Amino acid sequence: MKKNKKTALITGANRGIGKTIAKTLIKQGIQIIGTSTTEDGVEKINNYSKKNGFGIILNLKNTDSIIETMKEIYKKQYSIDILINNAGIKKDNLLIKMTKTEWEDVIQINLSSVFYLVKSVIGSMIRKRQGRIITIGSIIANIGNKGQVNYSASKSGLIGLHKSLALEVASKGITVNIISPGFINTNFTNTLSFKQYQKYLSNIPVKRTGYKEEIAHAVIFLTSNKASYITGHTLHINGGMYMM
Ligand SMILES: NC(=O)c1ccc[n+]([C@@H]2O[C@H](COP(=O)([O-])OP(=O)(O)OC[C@H]3O[C@@H](n4cnc5c(N)ncnc54)[C@H](OP(=O)(O)O)[C@@H]3O)[C@@H](O)[C@H]2O)c1
Could you tell me the pTM of the whole model?
Answer: 0.97
Mutate which of 10, 23, 24, 37 for ligand 1? The one with the most ligand atoms within 8 Å of its CB, which is 37
Catalytic residues: 151
pLDDT given at position 57? 97
Domain covering 7-237, topology: Rossmann fold (3.40.50)
Q: Ligand 1 centre and the CA of 11: distance in Å? A: 9
Q: Rounded CA gap, 234 and 138, in Å?
A: 10
- What residue owns the CA closest to ligand 1's atom 44? 88
227 neighbors 176 (Cβ within 8 angstroms): no
Largest pairwise CA distance in the chain: 52
Sequence spans of domains, the chain:
7-237
Q: Ligand 1 centre and the CA of 122: distance in Å? A: 23
pLDDT in tens, 74-87: 999 899 999 999 99
Nearest to 116 by CA among 64, 56, 183, 192: 64
Confidence of residue 187 (pLDDT cuts 50, 70, 90): confident
pLDDT in tens, 26-73: 999 999 999 999 999 999 999 999 999 999 999 999 999 999 999 999
In the predicted structure, residue 188 carries a pLDDT above the cut 80: no
- For the chain, the average pLDDT equals 96
Nearest to 185 by CA among 155, 211, 153: 211
Q: Rounded CA gap, 201 and 15, in Å?
A: 23
Mutate which of 186, 201, 219 for ligand 1? The one with the most ligand atoms within 8 Å of its CB, which is 186
93 neighbors 147 (Cβ within 8 angstroms): yes
- Could you give the 3-state DSSP secondary structure of residue 173? coil
